[in-house]
A and B are shown apart, each in its own frame.
Chain A
Amino acid sequence: MAETALTDHGEPAARAAGWRGIAADWSSDQRAFKNVSWGKAMMWIFLLSDTFIFSCFLLSYMTARMSTTVPWPNPSEVFALNIGGTHIPLILIAIMTFILISSSGTMAMAVNFGYRRDRVKTATLMLVTAAFGATFVGMQAFEWTKLIMEGVRPWENPWGAAQFGSSFFMITGFHGTHVTIGVIFLIAIARKVWRGDFDVERRGFFTSRKGHYEIVEITGLYWHFVDLVWVFIFAFFYLW
């Protein structure tokens, strides 16, 4: 994907390789990250900050889980489904994870087609990604409903430590919110791509800045991040 190396801001500058290159970039004027646009830099730094938020959530959950004196409900049991008479542990979560990971694939393809300025394919792939995301959130809603019917509440549950429900709703809720925001973002950008805003450099309604196809990649960064976070939640909450 050589296209992605080109940004909207002029030609790529010649640069030294390795550490020398990094040091040269940082000590040069104008830009510390060469050929990185403002938007992309901003998204990366935001994601770093957001990483700290999720880390704090997960660490707090782990503290609660390790220090509790009452038994912790067994996730494989709690998150099992009866499908066609067979009892399959974690099946719903496995499907959800699969869907979210697949959506990262379609997102990456959308970014690629975006830089080729293929409007239709980009927009379609973004909408497919959004659809995967929406499915994920829908399945999460199903999972929440099921647990709530079984008596799980943020403050109590039938099987053990109350922090199980608290952490579960808080962490998956916070992650689900991220996915939902991502879906809205994807749809909004897909609409702009479809309409050809980035080909005619139409100005944004609020910002009055010209749009660029790069926004597809920036959306992609966010989306991959949300997927990555899910992998950690999956590992620490469901598999532990």
Chain B
Amino acid sequence: MVDVPYEATVDVPPAEVADVELYHPKSWWTQYVFSQDAKVIAIQYSLTATAIGLVALVLSWLMRLQLGFPGTFSFIDANQYLQFITMHGMIMVIYLLTALFLGGFGNYLIPLMVGARDMVFPYVNMLSYWVYLLAVIVLASAFFVPGGPTGAGWTLYPPQAILSGTPGQDWGIILMLSSLILFIIGFTMGGLNYVVTVLQARTRGMTLMRLPLTVWGIFTATVMALLAFPALFVASVMMLFDRVLGTSFFMPALVEMGQQMKYGGGSPILFQHLFWFFGHPEVYIVALPAFGIVSDLISTHARKNIFGYRMMVWAIVAIGALSFIVWAHHMYVSGMHPHFGFFFATTTLIIAIPTAIKVYNWVLTLWRGDIHLTVPMLFALGFIITFVNGGLTGLFLGNVVVDVPLSDTMFVVAHFHMVMGVAPIMVVLGAIYHWYPKVTGRMLNEALGKLHFWVTFLGAYLIFFPMHYLGLLGVPRRYHDIGEAAFLTPSVHTLNAFMSVVALIVGLAQILFLFNLVWSLFKGKASGGNPWRATTLEWQTPETPPGHGNWGKELPVVYRWAYDYSVPGAPEDFIPQNQPPARRTAQGAAT
């Protein structure tokens, strides 16, 4: 039993679950490579995701170079351009952001934040990482096979995805689909762990309504992923059969090069439904963890309790649920029945309500807070701005009549980069600055951090804000070279060149950031256990970085919610979650 002051035991029921038996590594291999410790797995996930993310970053440079200076780079032809957008999009959305938020932050933070020793099934958790690594290798191998990676676009729409006109028709598409299937299998193993750990392995006193919002965000996103990825899994299996066995699930009767193909009777629209039944929730799978994390960053660095905690939780859950009934807003131009468009536009606009509530609550948390403009806080503010921007253009695209002319233009590209590209990346970066001290025991260099923030934030804005204008003019997306047309003003070409230069600079800033990560590991200022003076449990571990089993001999006991900042009358401006209440008054009311 923990040494709990008498009064406090009244609030905290006795332990229901015996302390877990941990797996103790016996060799260097099982400690650092085939480790079952969620913290090591988290770092493995993060490093792998970053590595493949760098590939996507380099691809974005190449694409931008081509768009900015068409004709200059002879080594980028139209086929390659398509391959680049496909790999860039898929890597960014799935192999970087999903893996980083759930596999990386989820693994590191869930057990620490809920006061558990580890994930509930560490062995399965370890397998999850290795399958993910395999998926990444299969994906990356597409660059080295004859024909190269697929150029079908990250949406992989059939029938073109598997027809010979599309680059990567030989191997690329097969590797892409196999890699997705592997990713989903690996994710499921991890995801089950995250969900069960949050539901069943919290420490004493940690009720669901005391969880930090980070955990709520990651938890809800994981549940969504477990329900949304099945659709992608099925779609991938079926398309793989269409490609390899010659079935016609998605393939209608086609004539190719004057030849009647052997396909017939399949439905390309069916694929779109399956894909977007996954694809839309996927947007929120990367957004909800970002929402959660940013709430905690704002509250900690503004030294104020989060405004409307309960509303924040319900908004996360409501967004998660609603996002399963909006998928066809991606299909307004697919030729589906117009009544569907009406339904899906309505549900799409309804989602804006809980989302707007969250934005108001962030702003109200900042309102008259004691704002410390630390690097994590800067990134959090950057997130709010880019997210609001992307959210507003989302309202445009959610309406059928506005979407139809804008569909497949750069306006769409600008919109989703703002809302699910730049905004979550802002949170990822802010979160790394925030939690790096816990992971390594050292602070990241602040001056480099501020430089990194300003270049990334302003740069990303300069890239993607003008892109809306290109879209409104009608510049199509996925075009290797827009050439000359009457509707293209000279400013289009100037802007394109400008955006490309900025994109290179933004990319370089990320290299600077990687340098900071490595440099600070050795030379950073020692951080101590709780440099941000934060309340949540991960900052209260006996050791930093936390040891195997996280908590030393006794599990922590939680007495309060995660947001006791600047409590009037308290000696410090934060009260950790595991600090027992002060003495009771005679009536028995806790202070």
Contact = CB atoms under 8 A, between A and B. Distances in A.
Interface in A27-51: 27-34, 36-39, 41-42, 45-46, 48-50
B16 A10 contact: yes
B233 interface: yes
Contact of A42 (B196, B233, B249, B274): B196
Interface string B278-313: 000000000000000000000000000000000000
A1 B13 CA distance: 29
A53 B17 CA distance: 33
Contacts of A163: 247-249, 265-266
Contacts of A69: 265
B121 A53 contact: no
A236 interface: no
In the complex, which range does the number of interface residues on chain A fall in? 35 or more
Contacts of A30: 13, 15-17, 200-204, 206
B12 to A, nearest CB: 8
B207 interface: yes
B20 to A, nearest CB: 9
Nearest to A50: B230
B405 interface: no
A23 to B, nearest CB: 11
B16 A31 contact: yes
A55 B267 CA distance: 18
B227 interface: yes
Interface residues of B, number: 55
Interface stretch (B237-245, B330-338, B495-503, B519-527): B237-245
Given A46-B188, A68-B265, A161-B265, A166 B204 contact: no
B18 to A, nearest CB: 6
A39 B196 CA distance: 9
Contact of A170 (B17, B192, B237): B237
A101 interface: no
Nearest to B225: A49
B384 to A, nearest CB: 30
Contacts of A37: 200
A135 interface: no
Interface string A50-78: 10110111001001100111100000000
A182 to B, nearest CB: 17
Contacts of B188: 46, 49
Contacts of A20: none
A195 interface: no
A9 B21 CA distance: 13
Contacts, number: 149
A155 B245 contact: yes
B195 interface: yes
A48 B488 CA distance: 51
A45 B195 contact: yes
A38 B247 contact: no
A171 to B, nearest CB: 10
A17 interface: no
Contact of B16 (A9, A39, A162): A9
A26 interface: yes
B192 A46 contact: yes
B270 interface: yes
B248 A53 contact: no
A196 interface: no
Nearest to A46: B192
A57 B209 CA distance: 37
Specify which of A27, A39, A155 lies most central, judged by the most chain B CB atoms within 10 Å of its CB.
A155
A36 B249 contact: no
A154 interface: yes
B396 interface: no
A206 interface: yes
Given A36-B200, A166-B249, A31 B17 contact: yes
A86 interface: no
A36 B16 CA distance: 11
Nearest to A38: B120
A52 B209 contact: no
A53 to B, nearest CB: 4
B230 A64 contact: no
B226 A155 contact: no
A67 to B, nearest CB: 6
A176 to B, nearest CB: 14
Contacts of B5: none
A53 B23 contact: no
A210 B230 CA distance: 32
B121 A33 contact: no
B200 A32 contact: yes
Given A154-B247, A162-B247, A31 B202 contact: yes
B558 interface: yes
A217 to B, nearest CB: 16
B15 to A, nearest CB: 8
A208 interface: yes
Contacts of A67: 267
Contacts of A68: 265
Contact of A49 (B209, B227, B264): B227
Contacts of B238: 60, 170
A207 interface: yes
A206 B270 CA distance: 42
B401 interface: no
Specify which of A46, A67, A166, A209 lies most central, judged by the most chain B CB atoms within 10 Å of its CB.
A166
B106 to A, nearest CB: 15
Contact of A41 (B200, B210, B262): B200
A239 to B, nearest CB: 22
Contacts of A63: 267, 270
Given A36-B200, A41-B200, A207-B122, A56 B230 contact: yes
A217 B12 CA distance: 32
B231 interface: yes
A83 interface: no
A53 B204 contact: no
Given A53-B234, A207-B23, A32 B249 contact: no
Interface in A1-36: 9-10, 13, 26-34, 36
B205 interface: yes
B547 interface: no
Given A31-B202, A41-B196, A49 B247 contact: no
B472 interface: no
B199 A56 contact: no
Contact of A38 (B12, B196, B245): B196
Given A52-B231, A154-B241, 5 more contacts: A10-B16, A29-B13, A29-B202, A30-B204, A36-B200
Interface of A: 9-10, 13, 26-34, 36-39, 41-42, 45-46, 48-50, 52-53, 55-57, 60, 63-64, 67-70, 154-155, 161-163, 165-166, 170, 174, 206-210
9 contacts: A29-B12, A29-B206, A30-B206, A38-B200, A45-B192, A45-B196, A49-B192, A52-B231, A56-B274
In the complex, the 6 A-B pairs of residues with the closest C-beta atoms, listed nearest first: A52-B230, A56-B234, A166-B247, A53-B230, A155-B246, A38-B120
Interface of B: 12-13, 15-18, 21, 23-24, 120-123, 188, 192-193, 195-196, 199-210, 226-227, 229-231, 233-235, 237-238, 241, 245-249, 262, 264-267, 270, 274, 277, 558
